[in-house]
Amino acid sequence: MVVLGAGFGGLELATTLAASPESLEVILVDRAEGFVFGYSKLDVMFGRAAPDQVLHGYADLVNPGVRFVSAEITAIDPVTRRVETSAGPFEADVLVVALGADLDPSATPGLLEGGHEFYTVPGAFAAADALAEFPGGRVVVAVTSTPFKCPPAPSETALLTHEYLTSRGLPADITLVMPLGTPIPPSPDASIAVLAAFEERGIDWVPERLVRALDPARKVAILSDDTELPYDLFLGVPQHKAPRVVAESGMTVDGWIPVDPLTLETAYPQVYAVGDVTSVGTPKAGVFAEGQASVVAARILASLHGSPDGTEYDGRGVCYLEFGTDQVAKVDVKFVAGQRPIGALIGPSAELAADKTAFGRDRIRRWFGRDWVSAPSTGR
């Protein structure tokens, strides 16, 4: 079993397969140093945790049933299920592609020169330094292209930026630019709560637009409708695309890997894909990749016995949404092919902050076999 990518999907899949009583060789390949929860990037950005507290090194994987290979993947042949890497080739009986989406800040003119992106780990850590040195003023938080990972994250960033600056007595004139008509489209209740929080804090909401370029000399963001927004600090969500090695494999259609939305099977026998690299129809977020990985693991294990498995992906996921001031909400959403997505809002409340911390700790214990003793608090 060869699993490409050690994010939510890859870690969950490898852990589940290795825990089975079957005699399996599970190989997990990733080029990164370690795993970082998406929300942990915000913890570092806003001074609530240090980088070394949120990085879970792959060298710490202790599951004896998983062989972790630190390597760059250079080629994927989905027909033969052969993978070329900087550590040598691997030939799989079953191949799972869980490589996520690559981020390309350079695709937005002026972003690297005139702003900060906060979706990559290095970008978020650099944004922490920029925020720590920022004297306050006009902040633009914006999405530069679609699709993008974790749709609630830009709203969280706007709210947490407001809290971060005002708690220090600094001026905070914040604008959020998003391509969506509402902040959380699957959940009207969540969108209403977020928009109310924006109004309470004086955060400007600019829907159904993108930022297509920055003019660093004039310090303005140029929107998709050719209007301009001046800024003192720009925090951007960069362009997302499938990793180049995936695009070169021939597996993609319209930029992403198409899969059966119920089974996560690709067009190639014994090749699955999960998470952000797919066009499965759910948002690009780790919790959905984890759910998809559970389905793939069940189907793989059933096939080893030569028996059909009826496990199907239900499109459900639970996302946490920070409002600031120690208030956290939970959005329970479900995406079913051919149906309108539905979502319910729970909270926000201080109690759900502890629930979110437990969510992270439980997964680190499951995937890495240890306690996350340095898990950050949700306080300032």
Q: Is 221 helix (H, G, I), strand (E, B) or coil?
A: strand
Q: 173: closest CA among 141, 142, 197?
A: 141
The pLDDT of residue 379 is 39
**For residue 300, what is the domain's CATH number?**
3.50.50.60
Burial of 23 (0-12, 13-18, 19+ CB in 10 A): exposed
CA–CA distance, 364 with 55 (Å, rounded to integer): 11
- Average pLDDT of adjacent 10-residue blocks, the chain of 380 residues: 97 94 90 95 94 92 90 98 98 97 96 96 95 97 95 96 97 97 91 96 97 98 97 97 97 96 96 96 91 95 79 90 93 82 89 93 93 57
Same domain membership, residue 97 and residue 148 = no
Residues 162 and 220 in one domain: yes
Q: In the listed set 195, 217, 239, which residue is the last one of a domain according to the structure?
A: 239
Question: Angle, nearest 10°, between helix axes 121-133 and 38-45?
Answer: 20
Residue 307 confidence (pLDDT): 72
- Does residue 181 sit in the same domain as residue 157? yes
Range of the domain at 151: 105-239
Q: Is 319 among the domain residues?
A: no
Is the same domain home to 128 and 165?
Answer: yes
Is 334 within a domain?
no
Same domain, 114 and 227: yes
- Looking at the fold, whether 141 and 264 belong to one and the same domain comes out as no
268 and 204, same structural domain?
no
**115 and 149 inside one domain:** yes
Q: Are residues 233 and 109 in the same domain?
A: yes
What is the Cα 241 distance to its own chain's centre? 13
Q: Give the chain's domain count.
A: 2
pTM: 0.93
Residues 19 and 91 placed together within one structural domain of the fold: yes
**Of the residues 239, 269, 291, the one at which a domain ends:** 239
pLDDT score of 304? 84
Tokens of 322: 């920070």
Six token digits for residue 61:
């994987």
